[in-house]
């Protein structure tokens, strides 16, 4: 084989390898795209429909996840809040959580558990302190409740509501 035919042979071979690699890459992309809806569906089922976020904070705001209720960490603005989360505001602090349908504001020395936060329900448990809940709207079928150690308050229409729980929980 002379030098010219060897060069032509190598170029043809390189072209066929490149073509095969492009075809293999295209096949991988198509396989990934075909699997993407299934992966997205699983991930979508695991995510909550509505998530709150810390919109404003003054002083110290602490957070405890549902799987570790005794371990508290400081958090700040834009931290996501969802079902099962526990919040504690220091004595000189306050915090506001925006959840889409309204807000809830925590005063100093407030301990709050987000019992439920999704597309249809807002349920808060105030163990101690003061919470102001603002409902911008409440669609038919949606519920909003604030539970305390002694009573359950159902919020039945848009408005501004304040719930206080004394330190002795009375």
CB-based contact 153:144 (threshold 8 Å): no
DSSP state at residue 138: -
Q: Are 39 and 62 in the same domain? A: no
pTM tops 0.75: no
Q: Are 92 and 149 in the same domain? A: yes
DSSP state at residue 40: H
Tens digit of pLDDT at every position of the chain (170 positions): 555 545 444 455 555 656 655 665 555 555 555 655 544 454 555 666 789 999 999 999 999 988 888 899 999 999 999 999 999 999 999 999 999 889 999 999 999 999 999 988 999 999 999 999 999 998 888 999 999 999 999 999 999 999 999 877 66
Q: Are 101 and 23 in the same domain? A: no
Element (H, E) at 117: strand 110-117
Q: Are 73 and 24 in the same domain? A: no
CB-based contact 117:99 (threshold 8 Å): yes
């Amino acid at each position: 084989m002379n030098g010219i035919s060897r060069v032509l042979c190598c170029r043809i071979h390189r072209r066929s390898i490149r073509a095969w690699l492009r075809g293999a890459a295209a096949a991988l992309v198509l396989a990934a795209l075909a699997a993407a809806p299934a992966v997205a569906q699983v991930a979508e089922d695991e995510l909550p429909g509505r998530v709150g976020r810390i919109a404003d904070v003054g002083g110290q705001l602490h957070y405890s996840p549902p799987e570790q209720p005794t371990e508290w960490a400081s958090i700040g603005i834009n931290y996501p809040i969802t079902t099962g989360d526990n919040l504690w505001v220091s004595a000189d602090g306050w915090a506001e959580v925006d959840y889409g349908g309204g807000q809830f504001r925590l005063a100093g020395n407030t301990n709050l558990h987000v019992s439920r936060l999704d597309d249809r329900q807002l349920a808060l448990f105030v163990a101690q302190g003061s919470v102001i809940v603002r409902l911008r709207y409440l669609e038919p079928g949606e519920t909003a409740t604030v539970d305390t150690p002694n009573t359950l308050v159902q919020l039945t229409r848009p408005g501004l509501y304040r719930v206080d729980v004394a330190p002795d929980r009375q």
